[in-house]
Amino acid sequence: MERQFFSKLLGLDLGNVNTRASIMGVRDEKFCLLDSERALTSLGQGLNLGTGAGDAMRQLQNRSSHILLEKSGKLIMPSNSGGIGVDKVALTTSLGPLPRIILLGLTASGSLQAGRNLVDSLSVTLLASFGMDVLVNEPYIIAELLHALPELLILTGGEDAGAEQALIRWIDVLRIYYSLALHSIKPVFLYAGNPQLENQVRRRLEPVAKLRITANLQPHVGELDLNPAKVILDQEILGFLKNKLPGMAALSAYSKDLEGTKAFGLDRMVRYLSLKSPSDQSRSKHTGVMAIDVGSVNTLISAGISGKSGTVVKSYWQEKVIDQNHHLLEFVQRWTGLAITSQQINHFLCHYALNPWIVPENRMELTIMQAFTRFRIKNIVSKLAFNYPWLRYEDHKGLNTHFESIIVSGSVLTGAPNSSQTMLMLLDGLQLQGITTVIVDKHHLLPLLGIIADAAPVLPVHMLGSDAFETLGTVVTAVSDVPIGKIVLTVRVTTDAGKDYSLDIIQGELRHLVIPKGVSAVLEFKPTQRTDIGFGSYGLGGELRVTGSALGVVVDARGRPIYLPEDDDGRIEQLQRWQWMLGS
Amino acid sequence: MIVGTLQRAKLIKITRKRRLLLPGRVLVNEGDPVHPEDVIAEALLPDKVFILDIAKSLGLEPDQAGQCLVRQIGESLQPEDIIAQCEGAIPRLVRTPIAGTLTEYHQGKVVIATRQTVVNIKAGMIGTIAEVIPELGAIVSVTGSLLQGFWGNARVGSGLLKVMEPDLDSTLAVSDLASLEAGLLVVAGMCSSVDVLKALEEKKAAGLIVKTITPELIPIILDLSFPVLVLQGFSDLQPDPVSIDILQARNGEIACINACPKDIINGQHPELIIPQGKGSPAEEKDFKEKLEIGQQVILLSGSDIGKIGEVSALSDEKMQFDSGLVFEAAEIRLQNGELIHVPCQNLLIIG
């Protein structure tokens, strides 16, 4: 993409419940967030997305000094010398409905898994996936494709200069399918397989299908190259939304090529950050970046280390709740810090599933929603680890890959009553290891920055260093097998404010070390021989320099898996104690 | 603030669009009366193919078999029709074993499309065809009572309304169904028993409309043969007097249920329609409307969840709730006169 020069940019983020408008401009020779507002998304029959976007812009205009709109409501572009209007618009969306996709490939563990990784990284619905084993019955698979009525077909398989025969058979089958399918409902066909068959694909399928060709998802065994396909798939998703949702095409006309789905933008930004993330000399493991977004409808996670990255989107959790998933209900019951019956939890979650835009009015609703958020986080990181084995995660023991920073966003996480609750949902859902800085993306900008990055690389760099991204705290996880109640770690805190102290951390504890904003501190860690805190091995300590933040330093010595008493009273007391320890 | 609506109206003009996902043939005309099971439009979807290797049958290489084809692509075939023939010392021919349409030839193989499935769209309600949408479907309209609900099991049905108890306050029991006749739309307060659902199926009930159900029954209800419409939700909620009023007044009349899933994009709710009625019909509300003072609303959260009230005040100032969160709030006067505050987002306008 051509580099573009501008001084003022409007970012629009269209969510299923909220639409956010953010103004980014230049102050003190650097890009920064000038202001941000949100309004309810105008999604539904008879509604136009432009209404909600207009409401967000009007609210922003009324609250701040930034004039964006003419009296008629039209966006002023470009900006003038008086600073009125904007030069560019960037757009991200996580809206439904989702295009329906069928994935075709060769083997379950090879090309189909690569295809699954692609499909899982964007907001689509996977109707079915078929491997080469179904080719023994070509009439059957043709009938299945005809009945399914997908919006998009993806064919992948065969490494570069690899398997051809099975792919050729797929091409023949698809030729028959496309010649039978009604013209008005023919799906787009994306070929992402062995490039040596591209000519054959063109010859056979271009006359009958809207064809798109991209790089092989798996050019060599074990090597994934999903990024080119993500670009095309993202474009198709946006095209689908522009056809389905009134107002989407009009908003897109403002943003032109600065647009993408939220998952695409987040994935791109995390990939960029993971390349930038230095490997810390004092710790032997390579570190990386993770971003988690928990919204009313969608859950997104993206993680990257040294250029390896992966993203998973889970949309529409409502079905899991309505289907009475027992594992989900048991988990939520376990992590609810109030005396609430499983029946009350089930009733509320089903009600919430039917009305995902509702907000928690009282403590019971809040605690159930937050317990459920822990489930959503746990569920999605587990899926990410399944798709990307370089990410080490176990259901009971939590995340065993270290991330230098974790960036959190999404109304469910950032909209908690206080930052302690945001931190707790994250810690309980992920069960981190090592030392990690948690950053809050209050205005949900990270995906937008991923969309803008190609056109204006300096903007994301400036924005990430600005106060639009607030450090929530530094988390130090002490993993030890000593019994509950025994010392696992001693910490000596030396601050530049003159406050020095030492304290022992006990197994089972969650401790909060207050280091206010504006204060710097050096923490010296001395773990016991059976405790690992992320300096390379058990018993190995070290120093950590931190700058003050909302929650300072949080030491999590609750064990892995996090130990919760079996009895309800003990469990509730423990959960409430941890909330109290963090100042909740 | 714009919030969602839920129609609960004694007499209203109702129009519903019924359309196929793919072009086909519309089977009704403007002005035709329809019932829920009537097919409005249908389309043919190619369903089955038969692949015949004529190269192999003729003993030829795949790239040689094409010149032996004696049929055109798109041609209809009957069983035993010759589709390929080659002369020579020993003439050979290939006959199709089945009827169908010759669809494709490639590398020695022919593809015959042998079957088509009919996909259709039904009226889903009692009404009249107001407008035909060429090749796709029609708009059906009726004037009557409308009760939209929160959840349904995606089935359609119709029958005479049978309100089991006037206040919808009790839990339906198997014993209540002892003398139930077949073909009735049963209306009850709460359903919490698998046995009740089984009994309704045995009694060949046309459908079930309940105030609430226990969520554990959801997987079973999804497999039932008759439609189930849940008016208020999943816990033991106070009955909604608007719905009770309508159901009591129309007890014994013909009604239809479309227990479709809620669809925000297409503006669909699961709903019960009772055609006809006395008086001047109101206009249907939009799917979402601006919240205003004087509107009747249903509460979606808090200790008064499920109750009906009237918006008595709206403020630009946000308010902090017991959860610790701050939202735009509406002051609601409940039917017992109590004044409470509710986040605007947690309201549905009813009417």
* B233/A351 touch (CB, cutoff 8 Å), yes or no: yes
On the question of pLDDT at A285 being above 80, the answer is: no
Q: Give the DSSP letter of residue B279.
A: S
Q: Count Cβ neighbours within 10 Å for each residue of A293-312 and write b for 16 or more, e otherwise.
A: bbbbbbbbbbbbbeebbbbb
Q: How far is CA B261 from CA A322, A338, A516, B71, B237, in A?
A: 12, 33, 50, 48, 21
On the question of pLDDT at A284 being above 60, the answer is: no
On the question of pLDDT at A18 being above 60, the answer is: yes
Nearest CA in chain A to B47: A143
On the question of pLDDT at A125 being above 50, the answer is: yes
Whole-number pLDDT of residue A286: 54
Residue B23 touches partner A, C-beta closer than 8 Å: yes
Q: How large is the ipTM?
A: 0.89
On the question of pLDDT at A161 being above 80, the answer is: no
Whole-number pLDDT of residue A280: 46
For A217-239, what is the mean pLDDT? 94
Nearest CA in chain B to A346: B215
Whole-number pLDDT of residue B317: 87
Whole-number pLDDT of residue B145: 96
Q: In Å, how far is A542's CA from the nearest CA of chain B?
A: 39
Comparing CB atoms, the residue among A180, A244, A354 nearest residue B265 is A244
Comparing CB atoms, the residue among B107, B117, B300 nearest residue A355 is B300
| Coil, helix or strand at residue A462 | helix
Q: Which of A320, A338, A351, A420 is the best substitution to test chain B (most B C-beta atoms within 10 A)?
A: A351
Comparing CB atoms, the residue among A146, A147, A175 nearest residue B104 is A175
In chain A, which residues have their Cβ closer than 8 Å to the Cβ of B22?
A: 149, 182, 184-185
In chain B, which residues have their Cβ closer than 8 Å to the Cβ of A351?
A: 233-235, 300, 305
Whole-number pLDDT of residue A2: 63
Whole-number pLDDT of residue A278: 54
Q: How far is CA B130 from CA A256, B137, B138, in A?
A: 40, 11, 7
Nearest CA in chain A to B117: A147
Residue range A306-318, pLDDT digits in tens: 878 999 999 877 7
For A320-347, what is the mean pLDDT? 89
C-beta atoms surrounding B322 within 10 Å: 14
Phi and psi (nearest 5°) for A376?
-60, -40
% chain A with pLDDT above 70 = 97
Nearest CA in chain A to B4: A44
* A361/B323 touch (CB, cutoff 8 Å), yes or no: yes
Closest CA to B290 of B55, B2, B66, B33: B2
Comparing CB atoms, the residue among A43, A138, A322 nearest residue B264 is A43
Note whether B293 and B312 are within 8 A (CB): yes
* A354/B216 touch (CB, cutoff 8 Å), yes or no: no
Q: In Å, how far is B346's CA from the nearest CA of chain A?
A: 5
Whole-number pLDDT of residue A4: 65
* A360/B113 touch (CB, cutoff 8 Å), yes or no: no
Residue A6 pLDDT class (50, 70, 90 cuts):
confident
Residue A275 pLDDT class (50, 70, 90 cuts):
confident
For A88-98, what is the mean pLDDT? 93
Token pair 């090749």 is found at B135
Residue range B71-120, pLDDT digits in tens: 998 899 999 999 999 887 778 899 999 999 998 888 888 989 888 889 99
* B325/A97 touch (CB, cutoff 8 Å), yes or no: no
Contacts of A217 (CB under 8 A, 6+ apart): A111, A114, A115, A117, A118, A156, A192, A193, A224, A225, A226, A229
Contacts of B18 (CB under 8 A, 6+ apart): B40, B41, B121, B122, B123, B124, B137, B138, B139, B140
Helices (H), chain B: 54-58, 194-202, 218-221, 241-249
Comparing CB atoms, the residue among A149, A184, A347 nearest residue B215 is A347
Token pair 């013909």 is found at B254
Residue B325 touches partner A, C-beta closer than 8 Å: yes
* A245/B265 touch (CB, cutoff 8 Å), yes or no: yes
Q: How far is CA A295 from CA A413, A469, B296, in A?
A: 8, 18, 29
In chain A, which residues have their Cβ closer than 8 Å to the Cβ of B1?
A: 40
On the question of pLDDT at A277 being above 60, the answer is: no
C-beta atoms surrounding A200 within 10 Å: 16
Angle at CA A264, nearest 5°, toward A258 and A269?
85
Asked if omega into A389 is within 30° of 0 (cis), the reply is no
For A3-30, what is the mean pLDDT? 89
Q: In Å, how far is A109's CA from the nearest CA of chain B?
A: 30
Residue B82 touches partner A, C-beta closer than 8 Å: no
Residue B234 touches partner A, C-beta closer than 8 Å: yes
Whole-number pLDDT of residue A281: 44
On the question of pLDDT at A502 being above 90, the answer is: yes
Q: In Å, how far is B29's CA from the nearest CA of chain A?
A: 24
Q: How far is CA A375 from CA A78, A355, A368, A430, A431, in A?
A: 45, 19, 11, 10, 12
* A359/B343 touch (CB, cutoff 8 Å), yes or no: yes
Q: How many CB pairs under 8 A join A and B?
A: 154
Largest CA-CA distance found in chain A, in angstroms, rounded: 79
Comparing CB atoms, the residue among B47, B151, B346 nearest residue A358 is B346
* A147/B117 touch (CB, cutoff 8 Å), yes or no: yes
On the question of pLDDT at A246 being above 90, the answer is: yes
Helices (H), A465-560: none
Residue B226 touches partner A, C-beta closer than 8 Å: no
Q: In Å, how far is B215's CA from the nearest CA of chain A?
A: 7
Cα B265 from Cα B125, distance rounded (Å): 20
* B233/A146 touch (CB, cutoff 8 Å), yes or no: no
In chain A, which residues have their Cβ closer than 8 Å to the Cβ of B51?
A: 138-139, 176
Cα A443 from Cα A429, distance rounded (Å): 22
Nearest CA in chain B to A326: B216
Whole-number pLDDT of residue A290: 97
Q: Which of B98, B265, B271, B341 is the best substitution to test chain A (most A C-beta atoms within 10 A)?
A: B265
Environment class of residue A259 by beta-carbon count within 10 Å: exposed (0-12), middle (13-18) or buried (19+)?
Answer: buried
In chain A, which residues have their Cβ closer than 8 Å to the Cβ of B219?
A: 323-324
Q: Which of A73-82, A258-267, A321-330, B256-265 has the highest mean pLDDT?
A: A258-267
* A244/B151 touch (CB, cutoff 8 Å), yes or no: no
Comparing CB atoms, the residue among B51, B216, B324 nearest residue A138 is B51
- Report the predicted TM-score, pTM, of the whole model to 2 decimal places: 0.93
| Contact residues, B window 154-213, toward A, CB-based 8 Å cutoff | none
Nearest CA in chain B to A139: B49
Residue B27 touches partner A, C-beta closer than 8 Å: no
* A357/B327 touch (CB, cutoff 8 Å), yes or no: no
Whole-number pLDDT of residue B87: 83
Q: How far is CA B87 from CA A82, B52, B53, B57, in A?
A: 86, 20, 18, 14
Nearest CA in chain B to A52: B2
Residue A440 pLDDT class (50, 70, 90 cuts):
very high
Q: In Å, how far is A248's CA from the nearest CA of chain B?
A: 13
Residue A282 pLDDT class (50, 70, 90 cuts):
very low
Nearest CA in chain A to B232: A351
The tens place of each residue's pLDDT in chain B, 351 residues long, gives 889 999 999 999 999 999 998 889 999 999 999 998 899 999 988 878 898 999 999 888 888 888 899 999 889 999 999 999 988 777 889 999 999 999 888 888 898 988 888 999 999 899 999 999 999 999 999 999 999 999 999 999 999 999 998 888 899 999 999 999 999 999 999 999 999 999 999 999 999 999 999 999 999 999 999 999 999 988 878 888 889 999 999 999 999 999 998 887 778 899 999 998 888 888 888 888 999 999 999 999 999 998 999 999 998 889 999 999 999 999 999 999 999 999 999 999 998
Cα A555 from Cα A4, distance rounded (Å): 44
The average confidence (pLDDT) of chain A is: 91
Residue B46 touches partner A, C-beta closer than 8 Å: yes
On the question of pLDDT at A545 being above 60, the answer is: yes
Q: How far is CA B331 from CA B8, B309, B347, in A?
A: 22, 10, 11
Q: Which of A170, A201, A359, A418 is the best substitution to test chain B (most B C-beta atoms within 10 A)?
A: A359
Comparing CB atoms, the residue among A45, A185, A344 nearest residue B287 is A45
For A245-271, what is the mean pLDDT? 95
In chain A, which residues have their Cβ closer than 8 Å to the Cβ of B328?
A: none
Q: Which of B17, B301, B341, B342 is the best substitution to test chain A (most A C-beta atoms within 10 A)?
A: B301
E strand or H helix that includes residue A198: helix A198-205
Residue A1 pLDDT class (50, 70, 90 cuts):
low
